[in-house]
Amino acid sequence: MQERDIDIVIIGSGSAGLNVMAQARAAGRTFVLINGGEPGTTCARIGCMPSKVMIQIAEEYYRRTHFGQFGIDGHDGLSIDHSEAMKHVQELRDGFVQGVVSRSTDKLPADVFIQDYARLLEPTLVEAGGQCFRAKAVVIATGSTPILPAPWRQFGDRVITTDEVFELEDLPASMAIIGMGTIGLELGQSLARMGVTITGFDQIERVAGIADPEVNRTAIELMRNDFAIHLGATATLESVGEQIQVTAGDQKVLVDKVLASIGRVPAVEGLGLEVLGLPLDARGVPPFDDQTMQVGDLPVFLAGDVTGERQVLHESTDEGKIAGYNAAHIDQPAERFQRKTPFYVNFCDPNIIAVGARFDQIDADRSAVAEVSFSTVGRARAMGAARGVLRVYADKASGRLLGSEMIAPRGEHLGHLLAWAIEQRMTVGEVLRMPFYHPVIEGALKTAFSQLYAEVEAKNPGPVTEVAPLRQSS
């Protein structure tokens, strides 16, 4: 097969791959973009965007349960049409996907956008679409795929994954969700609030990847108000007539469908990464530097969910930019880039947030921990959302903010403020000199910072909230 010379071969047209392409264009490099499967990003097709539509529907319908306390009558007569709800999810999802495709791959000529699965024949020789491409650099951005244990495949469409849940034309009467990570917890609560009888299972005794024990305890307690959750035992499946029996420890439940939400693994099957000549880990991924995205000292880079690490959109975007820049400048030593403060949002109600250092990453002897219950926050009480707990960590000596975990109303906004403060290496005293309005949800942060300020050694000169004096002009 004749080889075609190209500067950069990009494998995968998701968020990471598209950002690699932008870097290749900016540097004036020739490239081909190879994509197996459906075009459109994971976020738009099967991830954050359709899930947020479903979450919004569930929140709007659930809000009726608060109307009585506000003196609003008639809420008992409200109902939800599951097929119409899913149609709305799919229509918006299709719009998100089309928006991505129309701005990116739709505009590429056929000899640049190759719709086929790629295979590496050598580190810089890639086969796809009946062609071979000899590249100066290769970027692998193939994304991830949901885990579905082989024994569960026998149940056919009675067991679905997170890739398939948004394709449902109607919702079942009952469903078990196995895996109480971020996706399982979000969908579990949403489906339960839409009227599906949900039972959640996980073999560990944590939900949503929470490390802080107090936040985890509160999250489990609050989520159990919406649906049953069984933790600490491995789930097994058995066919019983048209239904499936799920057993975990001494818990048994019969359901119409099972949603497998036990994680995602790098999509590397059939890619031929063994030709790189480097050891592959248990997920089939070679060693790489997360500040350059380079694989060993090869002209090969990884980006996005295929790394198996920071599987969120903004990190995939950054990794695409880093890998793309270094691939486009392969004749130079790889540039190292500083990664942003880790930041994760679970859109359950209340939101579950982790930002910066996690509880199990801080030194207990050298750190101060503040805790605020949202039952005491006036704005949360007025909203009828006074549930959850905020925990913030700081270094005792320097007063520098380290991280936070929380389950909080409007936590997505609190998380951003904390992420920005941590990214700027701010101290507790410095953030307390920022303006805080009253009454707002952010008041919980001010309370937490005030607690921390009492414990840290680094103090502001003068009053903690003192502003710099105005200087007289000469």
What sections of 170-308 are H helices per DSSP? 182-193, 213-223
Q: How far is CA 51 from CA 45, 164, 184, in A?
A: 10, 12, 11
Q: Scanning the structure block, which residue is given the tokens 């990664």?
A: 339
pLDDT tens string 61-97:
999 998 888 899 988 889 999 999 999 999 999 898 8
Strand order in the sheet with 243-248: 235-240, 243-248, 251-255
Contact yes or no for 376/439 (Cβ under 8 A):
no
Name the class of domain 3-146+265-328: alpha beta
472 DSSP assignment: P
pLDDT of residue 2: 82
Q: Scanning the structure block, which residue is given the tokens 């936040």?
A: 215
pLDDT of residue 474: 47
304 class by beta-carbon count within 10 Å (0-12 exposed, 13-18 middle, 19+ buried): buried
Contact yes or no for 406/388 (Cβ under 8 A):
yes
* Count of CB atoms situated within 10 Å of the CB of 399: 24
Q: Where are the domain boundaries for CATH 3.50.50.60 in the chain?
A: 3-146+265-328, 150-262
Domain 150-262 has CATH 1.10.10.10: no
Q: Kindly give the parts of the chain with pLDDT less than 70.
A: 466-474
Contact yes or no for 306/145 (Cβ under 8 A):
no
Nearest CA to 278 out of 295, 299, 303 is that of: 295
Q: ∠ CA 424-429-431 to the nearest 5 degrees?
A: 50
Q: ∠ CA 344-346-350 to the nearest 5 degrees?
A: 125
* Count of CB atoms situated within 10 Å of the CB of 366: 11
Name the class of domain 343-455: alpha beta
Contact yes or no for 362/332 (Cβ under 8 A):
no
Strand order in the sheet with 228-231: 159-161, 257-260, 174-178, 197-202, 228-231
pLDDT tens string 245-282:
999 999 999 999 999 999 999 999 999 999 999 999 99
pLDDT of residue 322: 98
